[in-house]
Amino acid sequence: QKEVEQDPGPLSVPEGAIVSLNCTYSNSAFQYFMWYRQYSRKGPELLMYTYSSGNKEDGRFTAQVDKSSKYISLFIRDSQPSDSATYLCAMVYTGGFKTIFGAGTRLFVKA
């Protein structure tokens, strides 16, 4: 079983839709949770990170962590064609150095 599971998609939505991207994980030692966005043939860029449980909002993006369920989500409101990319979740143990990445979900937002 992988430490981090992420549905590879692809996920296709119309412009303006609310997008929900999710990851599950198996190790309760993870404390830091990140979301990266990766455009085709480019390096990933950090969207946001959260520590432990709770929500964090940044513009149209909201990250949510539910440690009791070992489940994290990224919501994108008013999705735009420019949001079309692969979204990678990532996690770090407390006091750890190594980052564990999900496989990424490909998102297509149609105009």
Partner 1 sequence: DGGITQSPKYLFRKEGQNVTLSCEQNLNHDAMYWYRQDPGQGLRLIYYSQIVNDFQKGDIAEGYSVSREKKESFPLTVTSAQKNPTAFYLCASSIRESNTEAFFGQGTRLTVV
Residue ranges that bind partner 1, judged by CB under 8 A: 4, 6, 8, 32, 34, 41-46, 49, 88, 92, 97-104
Residue 4 or residue 19: which is nearer to partner 1 going by CB?
4
Least separation in angstroms between residue 42's CB and partner 1 is 6
Looking at this protein, which amino acid is placed at residue 53? S
φ, ψ dihedrals at 66, nearest 5°? -120, 95
CB 76 within 8 A of CB 18: yes
Give the whole-angstrom CA distance, residue 95 versus residue 85: 31
Q: How far is the CB of 33 from partner 1 (least distance, A)?
A: 9
Angle at alpha carbon of residue 10, lines to 58 and 72, rounded to 5°: 40
The residue among 14 and 95 lying less far from partner 1, judged by its C-beta, is 95
Instruction: Report in angstroms how near the CB of residue 111 gets to partner 1 at its nearest.
Output: 26
